[in-house]
Amino acid sequence: MSELLRRMLGEQIRIEAVLAGGLWPTFADLSQLENAILNLSVNARDAMPDGGHLTIETANTELDDRYARMHQEVEAGQYVMISITDTGIGMSPEVLERAFDPFYTTKGPGKGTGLGLSQVYGYVKQSRGHIKIYSEIDRGTTVKIYLPRHVGSGDVRFSAPSMTPIPQGSVEDTILVVEDDESVREMTAESLRELGYSVLQAAGGPEALEVLQNERVDLIFTDIVMPHMNGRQLADAVMEKWPAIRILYTTGYTRNAIVHNGVLDHGVSLLAKPFSLEQLAHKVREVLNSKPPAEQA
């Protein structure tokens, strides 16, 4: 990933890799792991506006019983550790406490959506791993990811993705597409109709809430960044009044699109633009099959 990172971070940031020899194998989704490293590197870049050092380190690590007892959700055992360290502005305890929350950002409008760390968290949890942030104001930040050591024998590489058929929709399921860009909205609505769903449209949050007064909707597919009311605010309003409705977010921020295309935890589902018909079909089906956000912890 060195080339990509160098281009993304610019010349002001020196990148150093300290990679352990004899690193254990781990069984993980490679593209999502790269995604996590990109997310963390972009955060590091944003924390070093005047330049600095980014260090990526790998090591074999044992998390012992004592550590596991101190960190509730950690299972003691052997892990492959990947850490990203920057020499940036660091985080206050208040920021640190909320950093993994979806949509939590200290960056101005148009600069961050606050989905980066929550996505990394979701991925690590899904991989039965562990994540830990160490940070000090004005000194810098280290994020450590622990992925379980793979001890099974045989080839640990993923087999080629199977040709799973595109899941079709049903007219029984109604999807409300909320998007301020008319051509994007039309195209999305068209794709969903093609898949077999019933589709409604709204150009923004307030209009969407009006539609919901009169129509039964199963899923809202909403853009995150919109004028007047953003996707998150819309979702909050919807969850209060119609808790059974599923929410699927989408975002087209080019700055975030490459780094935000993974699994989010905390009941937040996201499909980054641009997406293919197939990706749309799978994601919509997955979210319709999931529990509504109000019922998730």
Ligand X SMILES: Nc1ncnc2c1ncn2[C@@H]1O[C@H](COP(=O)(O)OP(=O)(O)OP(=O)(O)O)[C@@H](O)[C@H]1O
SS3 label, residue 1 = coil
Query: Pick from Mg ion, ligand X, none: which does 105 bind, CB < 5 to 8 A by kind?
Result: ligand X
* Touching ligand X, residues 158-197 (CB under 6 A): none
Give the binding range for ligand X (CB under 6 A) out of 6-14, 87-95, 200-208, 239-247.
87-95
Dist. CA 131–CA 144, nearest whole Å: 6
Q: How far is the CB of 84 from ligand X (least distance, A)?
A: 8
**112 scored as a contact of ligand X (CB under 6 A):** yes
Tokens (6 digits) for 122: 């979701």
Distance from C-alpha of 209 to C-alpha of 229, rounded to nearest angstrom: 11
**Start-end of H helices in 27-181:** 30-46, 65-70, 93-98, 116-126
Decide: is 43 part of the binding site for Mg ion (CB under 5 A). Answer: yes
Which x/- pattern over 58-97 shows residues binding Mg ion (rule: CB under 5 A)? ----------------------------------------
Q: Which residue, 86 or 265, has its beta carbon nearer to ligand X?
A: 86
- Residue 225 or residue 244: which is nearer to ligand X going by CB? 225
Residue holding tokens 């993980």? 28
Neighbours of 58 (CB within 10 A): 17
261 binds ligand X (CB under 6 A): no
Q: Hey, which residues between 21 and 80 contact ligand X (CB under 6 A)?
A: 43-44, 47
115 binds ligand X (CB under 6 A): yes
* Residue 272 in the binding site for ligand X (CB under 6 A): no
Could you tell me which residues come within 8 angstroms of residue 155 by beta carbon, excluding any fewer than 6 positions away? none
AA letter at 61: T
Examine residue 106 and tell whether it contacts ligand X (CB under 6 A). Answer: yes
54 binds, among Mg ion, ligand X, none (CB under 5 to 8 A by kind): none
User: Which of 113, 188, 198, 261 is in the footprint of ligand X by CB under 6 A?
Assistant: 113
Pairing of strands 52-63, 13-18: parallel
Q: By rule CB under 5 A, what string of x and - marks binding of each residue 102-121 to Mg ion? A: --------------x-----
Q: Residue 243, exposed/middle/buried by CB under 10 A (0-12, 13-18, 19+)?
A: exposed
Could you say whether residue 222 binds Mg ion (CB under 5 A)?
no
Q: Tell me if 231 contacts ligand X by CB under 6 A.
A: no
Among ligand X, Mg ion, none, partner that 89 touches (CB below 5 to 8 angstroms by kind): ligand X
Structure-token pair, residue 165: 């058929």
Instruction: Name the residue nearer to Mg ion (CB basis): 91 or 195.
Output: 91
Reduced DSSP (H G I as helix, E B as strand, rest coil) percent helix, strand, coil of the chain, to 5: 35, 25, 40
CA distance 80 to 25: 8
User: What is the 3-state secondary structure of 158-170?
Assistant: CCCCCCCCCCCCC
Residues that bind ligand X (CB under 6 A): 43-44, 47, 86, 88-91, 95, 99, 104-107, 112-118, 141, 256
Positions touching Mg ion (CB under 5 A) are 43, 116
